[in-house]
Amino acid sequence: MLSKNKIKQIHALSLLKHRKAMRLFTAEGSRLVLDFLESDSRKVKELFASPEWLKTHGNRYPEVIKHEVTGQEMKKISNLKTPSEVLAVIAMPDEDKTASVEPGKWYLALDGIRDPGNLGTIIRTAEWFGIDTIFCSADTVDVFNPKVVQATMGSLSRVSIVYTGLTELFQKYKNIPVYGTLLEGIDISGIKNPEQGIILIGSEAQGISKELIPHINYRITIPPAETSKAESLNASIAAAVVCYALLR
């Protein structure tokens, strides 16, 4: 039986200040939890799971502390409307402030992405297109927010997220072209055979910050249909379209 203190501790991880203090976050759902276990089971500190889940998967990870819980107990610790059969408490990776960019590779840079679902979907999109590192501005939503973790569908276990100053990043790596999504940019289909770069995606409401625009080498846009009256594309959709166009 889970103690009140244990339930309280798990609930606390839904808040940023407690995640930072304890350097822990949660993940829920069998596929998501198994992705983290397969990536590095040493970082999974505790598992809370149904008897059926433990019977099927529990013996594969002897180093992880496991708790058998009932459906009612899972409801008490879950962040989901419909609780899953397993919840994991996972250690955050060490913070990487030394943003490094290698020639010949592609990266994403996110400026002020606030919506957890958008960030999670962008991380998932990055993995789909072979991008293994994403740079985020300090005002981008916390990647270990439960909604972000859920939306990554496991990709967070394989994609590195670095929170850093984007201005400093672009100044340090002036030899790497920056492709920024702007409404007044050139049609993305006009970019021919690019070999490397940083794809900069702006916030859902404000777009790319004014101080970052001078660092953009290629101002690109996804042209709408002539009949479209939509103001803009969702940030995660824009990221997917640009990744496909540049990396295909």
Domains and CATH numbers, the chain: 4-91 (3.30.1330.30), 106-247 (3.40.1280.10)
Q: Tell me how far apart the alpha carbons of residues 207 and 212 are, in angstroms, rounded to a whole number.
A: 11
* pLDDT of the residue at 129: 97
pLDDT at position 192 is 87
**Beta strands, E only, 96-139:** 106-110, 133-136
Residue-wise pLDDT for 143-161, tens only, equals 999 999 999 999 999 999 9
Q: How many CA atoms lie within 13 A of 163 on its CB side?
A: 13
Higher pLDDT, residue 8 or 204: 8
Statement: residue 98 has pLDDT above 80: no
The mean pLDDT value for 180-197 works out to 91
Distance CA 100, CA 132 (A): 12
Percent of the chain whose predicted confidence (pLDDT) is above 90: 87
Better pLDDT: 136 or 226 = 136
The residue that leads in pLDDT, 195 or 1, is: 195
Whole-number pLDDT of residue 184: 87
pLDDT above 80: residue 96: no
Burial of residue 236 (number of CB atoms within 10 Å: 0-12, 13-18, 19+): buried
* Average pLDDT, rounded, for the chain: 94
Q: Which of 16, 43, 48, 25 is nearest to 140 (CA)?
A: 16
For the chain, percent of residues with pLDDT exceeding 70: 99
Instruction: Give Cβ neighbours of residue 2 (< 8 Å, ≥ 6 apart).
Output: 48, 67, 69, 73, 76, 77
Quick one: which of 46, 51, 48, 53 has its CA closest to 76? 48
The Cα–Cα gap between 3 and 29 comes to 22
Is the pLDDT assigned to residue 12 strictly greater than 90?
Answer: yes
Determine the Cα angle at 236 with ends 114 and 103, to 5°: 100
pLDDT in tens, 70-88: 999 999 999 999 999 999 9
Encode pLDDT of 15-52 as tens digits.
999 999 999 999 999 999 999 999 999 999 999 999 99
Report yes or no: 102 and 140 within 8 Å, Cβ to Cβ: no
Torsion of CA 11, 78, 152, 92, to 10 degrees: 30
Side chain identity at residue 182, one-letter code: L
pLDDT at residue 194 above 80?
yes
pTM of the model: 0.94
pLDDT at 62 over 90: yes
